[in-house]
C-alpha cells in the first residue's frame, strides 16, 4: 500500500502544469453557457457567426441514398454524367426536397466541357478523392474549350445577386440606426410581409456613406463612387410586430439612416436551387504546369444555390479557384482540399477557396489549401457577409488569406493554421486596408475576426476601418496593424497567449444558440460623448494601480464609479483632481468606468490584465 501511495505521489509531482485559461474581454462565457458580448462606445461588437453553414448551422449534412450508378466511359464523360443528372431530375422529392444520389464508380472520367449539377435535391457522389483511379473517382479536366471554363457548376447557374423583387413589396427601413449584431428594425409598411418570407435588405452606397468610410480608404482620386458598394443582406423574417420586423440572422454592419436610406423587399428566389451535394471525388485539371493559363479555370462553382454542400473532395491545378461561390447562401464546404493552382502568380488568380458576389452564411470547415495566392478569401465586396473559415489549414501561400476588396463584412477566421510559411514575416492573414491595390480595393473587411489563429512565423495584419472595427483575439505569430497602407490598428488581444477559455468562437456561439441561450450584450455608453478632454486615465490596460487625473485648476468635485461587466459596482470615489485605485486583486477582464463632474459625464472601458 505504501509503495502504491509513493508511486501515485511521484506521478502527481511529474504531471505537467497546464497553463491557466484566459478569457477575452469582448466575448466570454457565462455560468449557464450563454455568451456575453461587450459593445464599444461606437456601437461595435463581435457579432454572432453561428448561422453559417448548411441550413443555417447546426444541422447535420444528410446522406442521400444512391439511386443511380454509372461508371466511366472512354473519352469525354461530360454528356455521360449530365445524362445521369437529367435522369435524377425524374426522381420524386422527399419532404425536404431531396431526390437521391448519383454514384460515380471508381475510375478516370475525362471532362472536356462543363457539368451542370442543376437539379435540386441531387447529390453527385464518388467513392473517394484520392489519386488512384482503381479505388477513387477522378474527374480530369481536359482541354481549354471554352477558354478557362468551369468543370462543375452546382445550382441554377446564374449570378443574379438576389435582385429579383416581388412587385409591391419594397418598403423603407425607418429605424434611425440598426447596430451590427442586431436583427430587428422598423419599416414604413410591414403589411406586404409575412413570417417566413425571404427578404433582401439593401443599404444604398451614397456619397454620405462613402465619406463616412473615408472614400473607401483609397487615394482621393480613386475614391469609391455612389452606387458601387451597397450593403446587401439575404434574410428570412421570423417575427412581425406592427411595423417591427425581426429576421433570422443579425446584420454584420451598422445601418445608419443618416448616411443612406435602407429598404427591404421580398425576394422572388427565381432560379435558386437547394439540397445539392458534391461528395467524395477528385477534380484534377490538366495543365502544362508552370504559369500555363490555357486550361480549365475553376473546379467547382456553387452558383445560384442555397442549403447545399461540398464534402470530402480534392481539387487540383485550377487557375482561379478550387471552389467558388456566387449568389450562394447557407453552404458548407467541409473536409475539402484545394491544392497547387497553375497560373501566373498575379492578380485575379489562385484564390483556392473563394467567395464571389452575393454570398452569405458560407462555412468552410476543416479544409486545406496549398501554393495559392490568397487561400481563403472574399472577392465579393460588400455583397458578402456572415461567412466562416473554421479550422482551415494553409500551406505555403504566396500572400494572405483575407477580405480582398471593398468592404466584405462579418468574416470569421476561427482556428486558422499556417502549416508552412514561405518566408518569415510574410503577411498570411489580413483584415485590413488594401488602399490602391487592384481596382481601388480600399477597406477589404469590416467587423471581422481572427480568433485563435496560428501564423507560425508569419504576419497577421488587423486594422480598424472608419465606422467599424476588426479584431485579432488569441492569435499567435506576428500580430499587428502594420499593413501596406498605414491605418489605425484594430482590436488586438491575447497575442501569443495559450489556453483560450473559448477555443472556437463559432462552435461556442453555435452551442449557445442551439441550447436556446441568447447572447448578453453589454453596452459601454453608446451614443455618449466623452466630455473630458482634460482628463487622463492610465495605464490602460492596467495591472496593479490605476490613476485618474483632471484639470488641477478646477475645484469642482469628480465622482468616479467602477463597474465590472455584469454591472456590479466595484468602487465609488469622490476626488478633486487626482485619485488612484489599487486593482491588483481584481480579476482580469473588462471594467467600465463612469466619471461625473458637474454637467459632464461619460463612460470609458478599461482592461485589467
CB 547 within 8 A of CB 573: no
61 and 151 co-located in one domain: yes
Residue 136 sits in a domain whose CATH number is: 2.160.20.10
Tell me what pLDDT residue 5 has: 38
Q: Could you report the per-residue pLDDT of 358-392, keeping only the tens digit for each? A: 999 999 999 999 999 999 999 999 999 999 999 99
Distance, CA of 413 to chain centre: 6
Which residues, 6+ apart, have CB-to-CB distance to 133 below 8 Å?
106, 107, 108
**pLDDT score for 120:** 98
Grid cell digits, residue 299: 473546379
Residue of higher predicted confidence among 524 and 97: 97
Q: What is the pLDDT of residue 567?
A: 61
Residue range 414-426: average pLDDT? 96
- Of 224, 120, 137, which is closest to residue 433 (Cα–Cα)? 224
Q: Is residue 13 situated within a structural domain?
A: no
Boundary-marking domain end, from 237, 266, 295: 266
Kindly state whether residue 596 falls inside one of the protein's structural domains: yes
Averaged pLDDT, 55-71: 98
Per-residue pLDDT tens digits for 550-603: 766 666 788 787 877 666 678 878 887 788 888 888 888 878 887 777 666 666
Instruction: Give, in degrees to the nearest 5, the angle at Cα 508 between 502 and 510.
Output: 165
Q: What value does the mean pLDDT of the chain take?
A: 92
Which DSSP helix (H) or strand (E) runs through 10? helix 2-14
Q: What is the CATH number of the domain that holds 599?
A: 2.60.40.3080
Average pLDDT of span 27-51 = 91
Q: 247-299 pLDDT, tens per residue?
A: 999 999 999 999 999 999 999 999 999 999 999 999 999 999 999 999 999 99
Q: Are residues 76 and 143 in the same domain?
A: yes
- Closest by alpha carbon to 263, among 179, 326, 194, 185? 185
Q: Are residues 188 and 252 in the same domain?
A: yes
CATH number reported for the structural domain that contains residue 206 in this entry:
2.40.30
Residue 450 near residue 472 (C-beta atoms within 8 A): yes
- State how far the Cα of 197 lies from the Cα of 168, in Å rounded to an integer: 14
Q: Is the pLDDT of residue 15 over 50?
A: no
155/60 same-domain check = yes
CA nearest to 394, candidates 356, 339, 349, 350 = 339
Residues 338 and 208 in one domain: no
Structural contact between residues 258 and 176, judged by C-beta atoms closer than 8 angstroms: yes
Instruction: Please state the separation of Cα 359 from the chain's center in Å.
Output: 11
Distance set, CA 169 to CA 191, 195, 210, 268 (Å): 9, 14, 28, 10
Q: In this predicted structure, what is the pLDDT of residue 10?
A: 40
Q: Which domain, by its residues, includes 194?
A: 171-266
Distance between CA 115 and CA 104 in Å, rounded?
13
| End-of-domain residue from the set 266, 293, 313 | 266
In a domain, 436, yes or no: no
Question: Beta strands 122-125 and 277-279: pairing type?
Answer: parallel
466, pLDDT greater than 90: yes
Among 320, 347, 374, residue at a domain's last position: 347
Q: Model confidence over 94-141: pLDDT tens digits?
A: 999 999 999 999 999 999 999 999 999 999 999 999 999 999 999 999
376 belongs to a structural domain? no
- Does 445 reside within a domain? no
Q: Mean pLDDT, to the nearest integer, of 431-442?
A: 95
- Residue with the larger pLDDT of the pair 544 and 58: 58
Q: Are residues 187 and 156 in the same domain?
A: no
CB 546 within 8 A of CB 535: no
Average pLDDT over residues 85-91: 98
pLDDT of residue 443: 98
Quick one: 135 and 279 in the same domain? Answer: yes
So what's the pLDDT on residue 9?
37
User: Are 277 and 254 in the same domain?
Assistant: no
Confidence of residue 544 (pLDDT cuts 50, 70, 90): confident
State the pLDDT confidence band at 6, using cuts at 50, 70 and 90.
very low
- Same domain as 310, residue 179: no
Question: Could you tell me the three cell numbers for 586?
Answer: 481584481
* Structural domains in the chain (count): 3
Residues 261 and 222 occupy one common structural domain: yes
Same domain, 283 and 155: yes
Residue with grid cell 486615465, as numbered in its chain = 537
Provide the 10 A C-beta neighbour count for residue 517. Answer: 16
Asked whether residue 491 is domain-assigned, the answer is: no
Which residue do the cell numbers 480598424 mark?
A: 464
**pLDDT single digits (tens) 320-368:** 999 999 999 999 999 999 999 999 999 999 999 999 999 999 999 999 9
264 compared with 521, residue with greater pLDDT = 264
User: How many other β-carbons are positioned within 10 Å of the β-carbon of residue 183?
Assistant: 18
**CA 69, CA 87: separation in Å to the nearest integer?**
11
Full-model pTM: 0.87
**20, 26, 29, 32: CA torsion to nearest 10:** 150
pLDDT in tens, 158-209: 999 999 999 999 999 999 999 999 999 999 999 999 999 999 999 999 999 9
Contact 514, 506 (CB under 8 A): no
Nearest to 36 by CA among 520, 607, 591, 567: 520
**Half-sphere exposure of 93 toward its Cβ, with a 13 Å CA cutoff?**
12
Same domain, 327 and 184: no
Q: Tell me if 377 is assigned to some domain.
A: no
The helix (H) or strand (E) run that includes residue 418 is strand 417-420
3-state secondary structure 453-482: CEEEEEEEEEECCCCCCCEEECCEEEEECC
Label residue 19 by pLDDT band (50, 70, 90). Answer: low
Dihedral over alpha carbons 442, 446, 449, 450 (to 10 degrees) = 0
Per cent of the chain over pLDDT 70 is 92
Q: According to the model, what pLDDT value does residue 13 have?
A: 40
> Does residue 358 fall inside a structural domain?
no
Amino acid at each position: 500500500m505504501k509503495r502504491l501511495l509513493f508511486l501515485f505521489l511521484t506521478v502527481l509531482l511529474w504531471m505537467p502544469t497546464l497553463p491557466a485559461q484566459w478569457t477575452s474581454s469582448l466575448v466570454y462565457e457565462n455560468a449557464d453557457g450563454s455568451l456575453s458580448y461587450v459593445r464599444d462606445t461606437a456601437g461595435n461588437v463581435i457579432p454572432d457567426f453561428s448561422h453559417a453553414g448548411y441550413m443555417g448551422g447546426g444541422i447535420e449534412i444528410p446522406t442521400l441514398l444512391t439511386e443511380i450508378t454509372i461508371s466511366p466511359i472512354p473519352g469525354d464523360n461530360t454528356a455521360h454524367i449530365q445524362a445521369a443528372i437529367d435522369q435524377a431530375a425524374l426522381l420524386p422529392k422527399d419532404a425536404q426536397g431531396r431526390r437521391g444520389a448519383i454514384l460515380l464508380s471508381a475510375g478516370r472520367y475525362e471532362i472536356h466541357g462543363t457539368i451542370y449539377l442543376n437539379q435540386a435535391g441531387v447529390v453527385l457522389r464518388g467513392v473517394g478523392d484520392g489519386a488512384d483511379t482503381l479505388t477513387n473517382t477522378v474527374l480530369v479536366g481536359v482541354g481549354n474549350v471554352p477558354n478557362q471554363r468551369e468543370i462543375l457548376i452546382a445550382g441554377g447557374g446564374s449570378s443574379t445577386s438576389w435582385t429579383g423583387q416581388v412587385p409591391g413589396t419594397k418598403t423603407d427601413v425607418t429605424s434611425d440606426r440598426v447596430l451590427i449584431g442586431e436583427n430587428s428594425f422598423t419599416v414604413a409598411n410591414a403589411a406586404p410581409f409575412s413570417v417566413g418570407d425571404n427578404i433582401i435588405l439593401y443599404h444604398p452606397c451614397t456619397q454620405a456613406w462613402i465619406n463616412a468610410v473615408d472614400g473607401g480608404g483609397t487615394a482621393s482620386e480613386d475614391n469609391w463612387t455612389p452606387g458601387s458598394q451597397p450593403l446587401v443582406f439575404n434574410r428570412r423574417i421570423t417575427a412581425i410586430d406592427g411595423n417591427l420586423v425581426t429576421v433570422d440572422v443579425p446584420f454584420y454592419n451598422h445601418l445608419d439612416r443618416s448616411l443612406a436610406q435602407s429598404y427591404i423587399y421580398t425576394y422572388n428566389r427565381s432560379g435558386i436551387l437547394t439540397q445539392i451535394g458534391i461528395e467524395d471525388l477528385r477534380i484534377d485539371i490538366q495543365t502544362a504546369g508552370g504559369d500555363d493559363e490555357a486550361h480549365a479555370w475553376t473546379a467547382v462553382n456553387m452558383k445560384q444555390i442555397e442549403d447545399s454542400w461540398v464534402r470530402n473532395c480534392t481539387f487540383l491545378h485550377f487557375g482561379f479557384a478550387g471552389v467558388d461561390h456566387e449568389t450562394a447562401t447557407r453552404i458548407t464546404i467541409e473536409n475539402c482540399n484545394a491544392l497547387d493552382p497553375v497560373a501566373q502568380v498575379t492578380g485575379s488568380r489562385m484564390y483556392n477557396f473563394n467567395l464571389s458576389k452575393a454570398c452569405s452564411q458560407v462555412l468552410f470547415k476543416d479544409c486545406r489549401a496549398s501554393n495559392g495566392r490568397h487561400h481563403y478569401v472574399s472577392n465579393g465586396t460588400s455583397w458578402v457577409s456572415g461567412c466562416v473559415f473554421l479550422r482551415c489549414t494553409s500551406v505555403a501561400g504566396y500572400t494572405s488569406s483575407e477580405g480582398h476588396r471593398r468592404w466584405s463584412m462579418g468574416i470569421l477566421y476561427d482556428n486558422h493554421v499556417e502549416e508552412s510559411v514561405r518566408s518569415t514575416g510574410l503577411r498570411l492573414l489580413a483584415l485590413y486596408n488594401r488602399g490602391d491595390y487592384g481596382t481601388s480595393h480600399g477597406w477589404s473587411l469590416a467587423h471581422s475576426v481572427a480568433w485563435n489563429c496560428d501564423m507560425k512565423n508569419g504576419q497577421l495584419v488587423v486594422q480598424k476601418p472608419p465606422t467599424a472595427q476588426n479584431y485579432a483575439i488569441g492569435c499567435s505569430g506576428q500580430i499587428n496593424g502594420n499593413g501596406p497602407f498605414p491605418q489605425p490598428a484594430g482590436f488586438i488581444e491575447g497575442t501569443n497567449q495559450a489556453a483560450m477559455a473559448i477555443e472556437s468562437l463559432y462552435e461556442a456561439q453555435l452551442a449557445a444558440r442551439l441550447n436556446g441561450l441568447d447572447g448578453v450584450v453589454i453596452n459601454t455608453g453608446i451614443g455618449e460623448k466623452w466630455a473630458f478632454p482634460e482628463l487622463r486615465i492610465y495605464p490602460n490596460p492596467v495591472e496593479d494601480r490605476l490613476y485618474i487625473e483632471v484639470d488641477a485648476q478646477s475645484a469642482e468635485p469628480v465622482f468616479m464609479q467602477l463597474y465590472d461587466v455584469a454591472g456590479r459596482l466595484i468602487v465609488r470615489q469622490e476626488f478633486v483632481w487626482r485619485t488612484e485605485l489599487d486593482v491588483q486583486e481584481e480579476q482580469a477582464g473588462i471594467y467600465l468606468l463612469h466619471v461625473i463632474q458637474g454637467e459632464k459625464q461619460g463612460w470609458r472601458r478599461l482592461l485589467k490584465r
